[in-house]
Structure 1
Amino acid sequence: MPLPRARLAVPLVTALLGLGAGPLSGEPSPTPPSAVLPRLVSEGHAPAAAMLSASPTASRFQAAGPGIRRADRFRAGSITKTFVATVVLQLTTEGRLHLDDPVGRHLPGLLPHEAGRRVTLRALLTHTSGLPDYADVSSRLSPTARTTAREAVRRALARTPGPVGRYAYSNTNYVLLGLVIEQVTGRTYAAEASRRIISPLRLGGTSFPGARTALPPPHGRAYDAAGRDVTALDPRTADAAGELISTLDDLNRFYAALLSGRLLPAPQLRQLLDTRPANGPYGMGIYPHRLPCGTTVWGHNGHIKGSYVRTATTGDGRRTVTFRVNTDAVPDSALDSLEPALLAAEFCRADGATEGAP
């Protein structure tokens, strides 16, 4: 059964965002990825779709629909969470954080006393904190309000939390992790992710926009369900839960490096991929998807105003795929069938290779 995709609705004057949340299920596709991708346009009614497959020996870019290119920058939504989780786990390797630290130790007074004592960094990373999702608060704000994620989180934390230890996707968790990173390092989570991940991997198309509303060039256009151009938007509502801007190549490179052990030592990589705290559906900023052929791939999706993106990679990081559409309006019913069909077509091929030449 597909997990629900968390959506973050905020006033249109800032943005209307939906941050992706969970793995999807589906049947194997007997056709190659090049035959499945155009269905995101024909059946999903996306203006355009693009996909980049990569392995150590080959890569292939495919596109359907006009105005979408391999080099385009786009908003990557909740894929931000994998970057944030990686930074947190790097800080644990340095002894500056511990996964069982209570949140109140690093952010005193922000959570209600009992929650600050019981909710740990591990619970934030695995979405088992029980903390209310600030998306629910943002969706009820005045259409003229200009509210940042941190302001909305404070409103959300005034609500009664759920039980600690039960998986419930909440964007609040990752905004708090961003604050923890800032408190421990003295630098923003964006600065730390840039220093620790973006610069070492040379992810030249990846950035955290902060208050910048424009996408950096080159980029195409992004559209909402009504066909309106939403390329420019205020990303501050997404914050550490989903503000990332990236490219197809950069996301493939990041996930390949992460799963191959370039960014985390083996003990921390095992913690990243440990789904037991969430009882199966989620690790730490990353989730598994088991394909019909028996292969399990790891990655995340991102659902933000004007964009849907999904990256998946094999457990050794050797084969990776990212696909995207330039709208947030593809129906869940279409994604529930087409996304797993794309992943199965890519990773369940008998020859184990990507289509095409480098």
Structure 2
Amino acid sequence: MPTLRTVLSIPVLVAALLLSPALSPDTSGTATTAGSADAVLPRLVTEGGAPAAALLAQIRTGPGRVSRYADTGPNIARTDHFRAGSITKTFVAVVVLQLAAEHRLSLNDTVDQHLPGLLRPARTSGSRTGPRSRSQSRSGSPPDGRRITLRQLLSHTSGLPDFTQVTAGTVPLTPPQAVDLALTLPPARRGHYSYSSTNYVLLGMVIRQVTGHPYAAEAERRIIAPLGLAGTSFPGSRRSLPAPHGHAFAADGSDVTELDPRVAGAAGELVTTLDDLDRFYAALLGGELLTPHWLREMKDTRAAQGEYGMGLYPARLPCGVTVWGHNGRISGSYVRTAATADGGHVLTFRVNTDAMADTRLEPALLSAEFCPRTW
């Protein structure tokens, strides 16, 4: 089993263009493909070692959308429910930004204003040393909730360590337990990008404090129900997946279809479908969930040195096209959604394992979908 720093996903910027797609123009002026990503998909199985893989692309055409589905490998289908890992973070970020738009909180609020006393240096003075990521190789000051803002939680610039470094995806935790575990690790530098699922566990706690409801209930009311995402849910402690679903496999080949989602919580609990993820990101980037001001805030990556916005991150493809979205990794599942800036062209692909042997395959697939052919 890999460490849960990989299990709950770390955004990876695209580094290589392996294929050039065949294109057909659409009326919006956005370059679109004629199924070229479909040709890359089998390589996730033959070269990447995934048992099976599937993708769903959707392109806006006038008043409607055109969909294209492809799969490879046994026992995988378009209608399957699967675990989406850190794609959960985009949903949580939307809820927080909607609350900011309603003036129920400010992104400049400190953690201590909503969760007083939870993060104080005195609690971390005896912290033991634990494993560190590259981004945490230079430790910062002990986390102080009087200085850390909600904006820093959203953009992974809080300096809070990632509790998933030590849980390995096997230990269900309550939110306070996850925070306490994180505080046993050396902190990163506040104000510098350092991806940490602890940030979003705290945001889930803030949502409950501000609204009186769990983050899952707020996401259901504000996002899932209005968009009609019938296959999307926050399972809480339910270990089984809704029907229909296939099987999910860990890197060692063991079946991990049943999983306690509390290993992830607000950082990665979501269960969903390909159709629902395409619909969600198209709606988000198309302005259905946030006003233009708050969508710009969500896509502002300056605080995170260009690497992350707020629950959303850009990937610049080798051809110069930038796509927006998120990835998610949790035991038995890896998912990636990417979309054009206006949500007019969206692609979600998934594999039913949390490991792929060749990391070049994801950028190849995205480039094949979104890049115009170069001659």
TM-score with structure 2 setting the length: 0.85
Tell me which residue corresponds to 2:57. 53
SS of corresponding position for 1:251: helix
Asked whether the equivalents of residues 311 and 322 of structure 1 are also in contact (C-alpha less than 8 Å), the reply is yes
Deviations 1:305-356 (A, max 9, x none): 000000000001100000000011213xx12x111111111111459xxxxx
Determine if contact 1:40/1:338 at 8 Å carries over to the other structure: yes
Tell me the amino acid that sits aligned with residue 148 of structure 2. Answer: V
Please tell me whether the aligned partners of residues 49 and 68 of structure 1 are also in contact (alpha carbons under 8 angstroms). Answer: yes
Distance 1:8 1:281 in 2: 20
Structure 2: unaligned runs, 5 residues or longer: 22-35, 122-142
Taking a change above 3 Å as real, the CA distance of residues 74 and 146 of structure 1, as seen in their structure-2 partners, is closer
TM-aligned CA deviation for residue 128 of structure 1: 0.3
Residue equivalent to 1:307? 333
After TM superposition, the structure 1 = structure 2 runs for residues 339-358 of structure 1, keeping only pairs within 5 Å, are 339-349=362-372
Residue of structure 2 in register with 1:354 after alignment = none
| Offset, 1:20 | 1.1
Q: How far, CA to CA, are the matches of 2:175 and 2:111 in structure 1?
A: 18
Alignment deviations for residues 176-220 of structure 1 (CA, whole Å, 9 cap, x no partner): 000000000000000000000000000000000000000001111
5+ residue gaps, structure 1, are 1-5, 10-16, 352-358
**Mapping for residues 259-298 of structure 1, pairs under 5 Å:** 259-298=285-324
1:65 aligns with 2:73: yes
* Secondary structure of the structure 2 residue equivalent to 1:50: strand
Q: d(CA) in 1 for partners of 2:273 and 2:300?
A: 27
Aligned to 1:21: 10
Amino acid at match of 2:159: G
Structure 1 residues 134-184: Cα deviation after superposition (integer angstroms, max 9, x where no partner): 112424x9x8x6544541221222444332101000000000000000000
Mapped to 2, the partners of 1:276 and 1:50 lie a distance apart of 34
AA aligned opposite 1:18: V
1:236 aligns with 2:262: yes
Partner secondary structure for residue 33 of structure 1: helix
What displacement does 1:35 show?
A: 1.2
The answer to whether the 8 Å contact 2:197/2:267 transfers is yes
Partner amino acid, structure 2, of 1:53 = A
Off by >6 Å, runs of 4+ in structure 1: none
CA distance in 2, matches of 1:84, 1:149: 14
1:70-102: per-residue Cα shift (whole Å, max 9, x none)? 000000000000000000000000000101101
Distance 1:320 1:281 in 2: 20
CA contact (8 A) 2:172 2:262 kept: no
How many residues align? The count is 333
Q: Percent identity?
A: 61
What code does the residue aligned with 2:322 have?
A: T
> Which of 149, 161, 180 is residue 120 of structure 1 equivalent to?
149
Q: What's the counterpart of residue 87 of structure 2?
A: 79
How many Å separate the matches in 1 of 2:44 and 2:166? 31
Q: Which amino acid aligns with 1:315?
A: A
Distance in 2, Cα, partners of 1:106 & 1:146: 24
CA distance, structure 2, for counterparts of residue 169 and residue 116 of structure 1: 18
